[in-house]
Amino acid sequence: MRAKNVPAWTLRRTIPSDTSVGSALAHELVDAMLERKWPATDLFRVQLAYEEAIVNAIRHGNRHCSDKTVEVEMSCKEQEVCIRITDQGNGFDPAAIPDPRQQELLEVPGGRGVLLICEIMSEISFNDTGNQITMIKRREDFPPEQCGG
């Protein structure tokens, strides 16, 4: 059963480089998805992708610097969730991330977040600087082909 006539939910927050604060926002997103009757599998997947992206922004982007912040923008509609996370780091080149499925990287800890996000979300993009990710999930959509594999 799908939600009927539930208006779009939006959130825009600037948060400190603190993963616990970033994780708390995931609960608000899940609540918005529940109100719009998203399937449980999508709830789990979107929350996981969000958690990976917010941790990457805080840990790798801002390097846990207390004087840096992360901008989080999220919206949830009946058929689509959009998440944009922007850190104040120097950015990175997404194409330069090694594939963690390569034999020599299989037992190396870390390095799987972007791949996981690619596998979960319907669409992802980065700004030119590489310090902003935009993730879109369409209801019951399968992952895109753009992430390789």
Encode pLDDT of 14-68 as tens digits: 999 999 999 999 999 999 999 999 999 999 999 999 999 999 999 999 999 999 9
What is the length of the chain?
149
pTM for the model: 0.88
65 vs 55, 93, 129, CA distance in Å? 13, 21, 19
pLDDT digits (tens, 9 = 90+) for 82-133: 999 999 999 999 888 777 677 675 665 566 788 899 999 999 999 999 999 9
SS (H, E, C) 81-144: EEEEEECCCCCCCHHHCCCCCCHHHCCCCCCCHHHHHHHHCCEEEECCCCCEEEEEEECCCCCC
The residue to which tokens 């369409």 are assigned: 138
Fold of the domain built from segment(s) 9-138: Heat Shock Protein 90 (3.30.565)
